[in-house]
Amino acid sequence: MKVYLETFGCQMNELDSELVRGHLHSLGYSFTGDPNDAQVILYNTCSVREQAESKAYSRIGIVGKRKAAGEELILGVLGCMAERDGIDMLRRYPQVDLLCGPGELDKLPLLIDNVRRTERISTSPRTDRAPARSVTSGDGRVALAGNKSRRSATLGAAEDSLEALDLGRAFEPREGSNDRSAYVRITRGCNKFCTYCVVPYTRGAEVHRPPDHIVEECRRLADSGVLEVTLIGQTVNHYLYVHGAAVDASGGETPQVGPGAAAFTRTGLDRLRSDGQRVTTFAELLYRIHEEVPEIKRLRFVTSYPRDFGDDILDVMAACPRICRYLHVPAQSGSNRILKLMNRGYTVEEYLEFVQRATRKLPDVCLAGDIIVGFPTETDEDFEATVQLVRSVPFKNNFIFKYSPRPGTTAIDRYPDDVPTEVKKLRNNHLLAVQSEVSTAVHRSWVGKTVEVLVEGPSKAAADAAEADAIDARSTVSAVHGSTDQQPATRVELRILGVSQGASSNGAASSPRQRGLQSDGRTAPLPAGTQLVGRTGGDLITFFDCPAGRTPESLRGTVLPILITGSASLLLQGTAVGPQGTAFGTDG
Ligand code: SAM
Ligand code: SF4
């Protein structure tokens, strides 16, 4: 059976999709990139903002029409929408055959099989423990969700069968594959309860994976050809594993519920240690991966929480050359009043203190973030404070979102969504313009320097990926300032910069090189040739000409020293210098 799997939203979902793909593949399913060619259509959905949900609903509508026309298809909705809407979605959308929340993805093959056999599952497959909820629509269709019951005990989470999904990921040799980057999850869920956010409800309690599992996963990925690993968690710097607290019957370490914010104070950690507990902090985890898996040439992590980001992490970053100087640390707002309403747990002053510390210890660090505009009660003064924050921090980019009230969150119950849509739009656009100025200055500061660029391929690939909405926060999109209308912004930016095929609608030369982007931003005609694109360790997108005598294919997945000769607000342009195309991993 052929499966079409489409992913909406964040890196977490992308990793979930990769794991689901590997699991189904091992059971004999094949995959297609064309929904019209598939017998099973799966949408891995996101509930963080309404826009992502609307997109998924529109896809569900299209499949509904196909099924109404007589096509035999299985339609599954995975991820946060499945978790949040549950049986209601089955009632409202008869075309949906199965729902599977993010905490139950290991059960997906069982659910698909159930639909194929048109049998009804009357009891939860999780007979061994409480949290899973399995409900049927009455006609055999199944909604499986689990994370709404938040686990409170360390050992409760130890039974988390999702760990098997992470551990069972496909580590195929990646010889000849373009994909040299991979995500590795270090924590699941979130305990922060920012008032606007659905994640703590859809993904459940913060659960931390054992360090040995994480290091082993990195090692196996490296063995399969992966060069760049991004550790992911909602607040990665809050990773903390207390050894011996969660073990299975054979004494092996298992995932455990996060220890809570108090553990991140010096006294909290000291208390844990003086109680004789052995702990692994995030800094120690980073160091372990750096030292034990040197084949990973780039180690990054997202997303960082501005509070409790200790000097120990910055020191490890400074000492370890293969840890990227890149920090995605969302500020969300520049107003202390709004931060308080958001329950973010830090002030603007504390955020700025963190930025100062980070830039002092890592002078070449690239900073990125997220901002929400139009949070309930946000005044012009609050918004102006956010503008000031964006102006005062050298952000290479910020994803800027218009506040979107989400069912189930504290904010929707407590604060009326009183900032008019028009005002949200104006603030969004204004902040995008300010961020564009900041990004331009940040990118310009790299002109004249030589950077190491991990080659992704010909620049056309980036354009195609953007057109297919397939680019994630790690790659080209991350250079864009972002907005709630993130993808359209991406296309516009790429088009302006000539990366998108749409740019040449008037027949004009379209790549940055063809446009002859200069350090002062003016353009000049240059002869045509092959443009390559890659990223620096700080995640700055860099375009450059393919060096003479080399092919784009031979350079993909290699690191090249690139002298930066020009810049725009979102990208760098340069020329390959020095040893050209040193295989990443053999150049020490
Ligand atoms: N855990 C990360 C953190 O705390 O920074 C963020 C994860 S969240 C899935 C990604 C971003 O979506 C947030 O940083 C926030 O800017 C945005 N976001 C979340 N809920 C939102 C909402 N209700 N409306 C608008 N933006 C929202
Ligand atoms: Fe959501 Fe806040 Fe958790 Fe991030 S830290 S996932 S914004 S609740």
Distance 61 CA to ligand 2 centre (A): 30
Nearest CA to ligand 1 atom 9: 48
Q: Tens place of pLDDT for every residue, the chain, 588 residues?
A: 899 999 998 889 999 999 999 899 989 999 999 999 999 999 999 999 898 899 999 999 999 999 999 999 999 999 999 888 877 888 899 999 999 988 889 889 988 988 887 644 333 333 333 334 555 555 666 666 654 444 333 434 444 567 777 777 766 654 455 668 899 999 999 999 999 999 999 988 899 999 999 999 999 999 998 999 999 999 999 999 999 877 787 778 888 888 766 677 666 777 777 777 889 999 999 999 999 999 999 999 999 999 989 999 999 999 999 999 999 999 999 999 999 999 999 999 999 999 999 999 999 999 999 999 999 999 999 999 999 999 999 999 999 999 999 999 999 999 999 999 999 999 999 999 999 999 999 999 999 999 999 998 888 644 454 444 333 333 333 333 333 333 333 444 444 444 432 222 232 323 333 333 334 444 333 334 588 999 999 999 999 999 888 888 888 888 899 999 999 998 999 999 976 544 443 333
Q: Can you read off the two tokens belonging to residue 360?
A: 């002092």
Answer whether 46's CB lies under 8 Å from 82's CB: no
Distance 409 CA to ligand 1 centre (A): 12
CA atoms within 13 A of residue 108's CA, in its CB half-sphere: 34
Distance 236 CA to ligand 1 centre (A): 15
Nearest CA to ligand 1 atom 2: 234
Per-residue burial over 229-251, b if 16 or more Cβ lie within 10 Å, else e, is bbbbbbbbbbbbbbeebbeeeee
199 touches ligand 1 (CB under 6 Å): yes
Closest ligand by atom to 47 CA: 1
Paired strand residues for 181: 228
Closest ligand by atom to 12 CA: 1
Nearest CA to ligand 2 atom 4: 234
Helix, strand, or coil here: 472?
coil
Helix, strand, or coil here: 583?
coil
Answer whether 430's CB lies under 8 Å from 472's CB: no
195 touches ligand 2 (CB under 6 Å): no
Q: Distance from CA of residue 388 to its chain's centroid?
A: 27
Distance 235 CA to ligand 2 centre (A): 8
Nearest CA to ligand 2 atom 1: 197
369 touches ligand 2 (CB under 6 Å): no
403 touches ligand 1 (CB under 6 Å): yes
